[in-house]
Structure 1
Amino acid sequence: MSLLRALWDHSAGRISLVIIGVLGLAALLGLLGLTPHDPLAQDRLARLQAPSGTYLLGTDLFGRDMLSRLMEGIGRSFKVALLSVSLAATLGTVLGLTAAWFGGLWDGVAMRSMDVLLAFPAILLALLIVAILQPGVWTSVLAIAIVYTPIFTRVARGPALSLKTRSFVDAARTFGSSRTYILSRHLLGNLVAPLTVQFTLALAWALLTEAALSFLSLGTQPPHPSLGLMLSDSRNLMEMAPWLLIFPAAVIMLAVLGFNLLGDALRDITDPKAQRGRA
């Protein structure tokens, strides 16, 4: 509760909570199937209707309700982003901590492997992974996780190299604490703040990557909606039905803005120097 209060007192944090709260509620309702209409139901007589009282955000080329499809699309995109970033954070944190702790050959192999992954542009590496495997939601999760694992590895390894030489770690060794306890309690416990900030920022990047993959028909497959796929379907209808492009693009923009603002606010709140500056 104290963190939420601190976020609400922060200007960027307040905006991010509102944006993510609204989109998160829409995503949850979409995943639970609590939409105004069936997102997959087609009504040929209602094709390309502009926003109205019946269809608040209009309909698409097949007469499907845009609001319902947008809600389900937000839910699918958020699910892919959360799963992929959670997997990347877990793998990257484990690799970073063990590389810093053991050093030597393991540190060299782990970090050079991460350097190889970082040498590829994120979207190209994701495209390569999806091209090797079969396009789909779970392939997108795996591809995005692999792309962003090196970032979490570096975020975890750098501070861990300094922390393992601190006196409290030496004291824990003296008292016979196990390696697992020291890694999880002392090292990981002091990395929660930077990893949390990186997690929120990575969510914004993951949403963009998922939208790009779906836009290229390599992520979520029709007829199920996703934000990128909805943008792809609206390319040839921009002049006839601009709402098909405007609403999914606006949601992507707001989601990325919300997670970036949340990351900035968390960084300010958890940074002692920033706190002293505000004082």
Structure 2
Amino acid sequence: MRGRRGREAAAGLLFAAPAVAVFAVFMFWPLIRVVWLSFQQTRGFGIAKWVGLGNYQDILADTVFWRALLNTALYTAVSVPLCLVAGLAAALLLNRAMPGRGLFRAVFYLPAVISGVSSAIIAAWMFNEDLGVVNKVLEPLGLGPVHWQSEGMPAMLSLVAVGLWIGLGFNMVVYLAALQGIPRHVYEAARCDGASWWQTLRSITIPSLGPTTFFLVVIGVINSFQVFDIVYVMTGGGPGNATTMLVTYAYSTGFEQRQQGYASAIGVVLYLIVLAMTLLQWRVNKRRDVA
């Protein structure tokens, strides 16, 4: 038995080795490298200067960093709940038998398949202040033109709208899979007891989707704090720093200003923030399940 278990363990390690190697090369080692660079002052070339916690001390006094953190938190606080509600609404609608259901599912999911840069290019054309489709639709309604690129709040709203457009399809598919896993007899029993649609949704559907919602919240928060492509293409962080996010600020600091040590420190802070928020959500969800 001991020899058999040893062979099984060796086979398991052999099968896991490629995935572990990829993780180590492309995830674990870069993370260690970023942490190491965050304690240095370097432009990527030449001899680096060891500054210890100097980069982190500079972050505390960096007003642009705090503005980027506030923008990222605001984007996350608005986009994640909207994606959850819109994804659930689309899943509830398309979970029913209706004409063209497969086509509508594909249309909703299409933005999740297209690359973020392509979606951002399409959105930048749609939200163009002079020639965009959005302003052309709003003007006859007396709501436009809106200065999507030259004013801070409209620029942020355009990013939230595009984030919702891209994230809705993924949330819809995950919610659809979860809805189809809820036993039908539970709904039948509720209907026999005279429960309305709203009562069924509140007392059966939403509680049954609790683990799925928790998963989507964690994924949504992580993705929102890492948003880059749509910001870089649509607004570039402007006007001013109104839409500068932590990732775009780290990118511009590291690759445009060539302060790679400072950019690495920003990346480490971002990593710790996302890790802390994920652990907090996990603990809250664990307490809810125990209760």
TM-score range, shorter chain: 0.5 to 0.7
Whether contact under 8 Å (2:109, 2:168) holds in the other structure is: no
Matched, 1:69 2:93: no
Contact 1:164/1:187 (<8 A) preserved: no
- The 8 Å contact of residues 215 and 228 in structure 1, kept in 2 or not, is answered as no
- How many equivalent pairs are there? 211
1:254 Cα deviation (Å)?
2.9
State the TM-score, normalizing by the size of structure 2. 0.60
User: Deviations for 1:165-192, whole angstroms, at most 9, x for unmatched residues?
Assistant: 1x22111111221122212321122102
2:157 aligned residue: 138
Any conservation in 2 of the 1:212–1:228 contact (CA below 8 Å)? no
Which of 66, 76, 79 lines up with 1:81 in the alignment?
76
Q: How far, CA to CA, are the matches of 1:213 and 1:115 in structure 2?
A: 18
- Residue 163 of structure 1: CA displacement? 2.0
Give 5+ residue unaligned stretches, structure 1: 1-49, 60-64
1:18 corresponding residue in structure 2: none
Q: Measured at CA, do residues 259 and 146 of structure 1 come closer, stay the same or move farther in structure 2, by a change above 3 Å? A: farther
CA distance in 2 between partners of 1:251 and 1:52 (Å): 12
**CA deviation digits over 1:219-252, x for unaligned, max 9?**
54143253244234423332xx445423332233
Could you give the per-residue CA deviations for residues 67-87 of structure 1, whole angstroms, max 9, x where no partner exists?
x32222111111112211211
How do 1:65-144 residues align onto structure 2 when only pairs under 5 Å count? 65-66=61-62, 68-100=63-95, 102-105=96-99, 107-133=101-127, 134-135=148-149, 136-144=155-163
**Cα-to-partner distance string for 1:94-137 (whole Å, 9 max, x where unaligned):** 1112222x223264343122232233124432442234214421
Residue 191 (structure 2) aligned to one of 132, 148, 173: 173
On the 8 A contact 2:73/2:225 being kept in 1, the answer is yes
> In structure 2, do the counterparts of structure 1 residues 266 and 191 end up closer, same or farther at CA, with 3 Å as the change threshold?
farther
Structure 2 counterparts to residues 204-243 of structure 1, below 5 A: 204-209=222-227, 211-216=228-233, 218=235, 220-224=237-241, 225-234=244-253, 235-238=255-258, 241-243=259-261
Larger RCO (alpha carbons 8 Å, 6+ apart) = 2
Unaligned ranges ≥5, structure 2:
1-50, 128-147, 150-154
* Counterpart for residue 185 of structure 1: 203
- CA root-mean-square deviation: 3.5
Distance 1:111 1:266, change over 3 A: farther
Q: TM-score, normalised by structure 1?
A: 0.63
Match of 2:99, SS state, is helix
Alpha-carbon separation, structure 2, partners of 1:250 and 1:73: 15
Task: Flag the structure with larger Rg.
Answer: 2
Verify the 8 A CA contact 2:110 2:169 in the aligned structure 1: no
User: What's the offset of the Cα at 1:162?
Assistant: 3.3
For 1:247-262, list aligned pairs within 5 A. Answer: 247-259=265-277
Aligned residue identity for 1:168: V
Q: Is the 8 A contact 2:214 2:285 kept in 1?
A: no
Secondary structure of 1:195 counterpart: helix
The CA distance in 1 between the partners of 2:109 and 2:59, in whole Å, is: 47
